[in-house]
């Protein structure tokens, strides 16, 4: 029986979905876990050879296996490849678009720059009391410009497998794309 012994999960900037939602779910399920800065994953893989895979979600999967997901997914695939670890996409089968030949056709939305220039959250005291008072802090000088794409596309060549509720999809040997 293979049991998940520990999960490292990223903050998932700029909205911090990992720090908020993934952390909550892992705690609720009593899965041992550690929050990691988005930019620390490569160092983590370098320092811990016991990490076997990176698992991410997907908002869209093209017919060849190219995958669109939250910004930062592509760099996770690159570091998994560099460190010789599996890179697995887990998504509902409804995310697979067989009418889209490749990720080149996926349009990437540019988000409001303020989403990365301003950090939002709750005051520490309000979290402790459960009242959840929102607060925002400007983290960059006001004149700072920002590039803020909502998604990136991970090429199928970097993906080890795609897992859906219907099963696991793998590539043919020596293929860089999925059939």
Structure token digits, residue 38: 């988005």
CA–CA gap between residue 73 and residue 149 (Å, rounded): 12
3-state class of 136 per DSSP?
A: strand
Whether 59 is catalytic = yes
Structure tokens at 158: 């970097």
Active-site residue (options: 38, 48, 59, 66): 59
Taking the C-alpha atoms of residue 56 and residue 70, their distance in angstroms, rounded to an integer, is 9
Cα–Cα distance list, 167 to 98, 128, 138 (Å)? 17, 42, 45
pLDDT at 14 over 90: no
Cα separations (Å) of 130 from 24, 26, 54, 122? Answer: 14, 19, 33, 10
pLDDT at 2: 66
The three-point CA angle 18-35-115 to 5° equals 40
Taking 60 as the threshold, does the pLDDT of residue 1 lie above it?
no
Whole-prediction pTM: 0.91
pLDDT of residue 121: 87
Contact between 150 and 109 under an 8 Å Cβ cutoff? The reply is yes
- Say which range, 63-67, 92-96, 131-135, 162-166, has the weakest mean pLDDT: 131-135
């Amino acid at each position: 029986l293979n049991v998940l012994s520990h999960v490292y999960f990223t903050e998932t900037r700029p909205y911090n979905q990992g720090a908020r939602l993934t952390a909550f779910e892992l705690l609720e399920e009593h899965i041992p876990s550690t929050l990691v800065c988005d930019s620390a994953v490569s160092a983590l893989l370098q320092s811990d050879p016991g990490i076997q895979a990176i698992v991410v979600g997907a908002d869209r999967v093209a017919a060849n296996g190219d995958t669109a997901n939250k910004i930062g997914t592509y760099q996770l695939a690159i570091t998994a490849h560099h460190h010789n670890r599996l890179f697995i996409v887990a998504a509902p089968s409804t995310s697979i678009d067989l009418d889209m030949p490749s990720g080149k056709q996926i349009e990437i939305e540019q988000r409001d720059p303020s989403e990365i220039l301003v950090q939002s959250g709750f005051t520490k005291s309000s979290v402790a009391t459960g009242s959840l008072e929102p607060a925002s802090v400007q983290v960059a000088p006001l004149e700072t410009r920002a590039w803020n794409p909502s998604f990136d596309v991970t090429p199928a060549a970097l993906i080890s497998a795609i897992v859906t509720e219907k099963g696991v999809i793998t590539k043919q040997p020596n293929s860089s794309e999925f059939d």
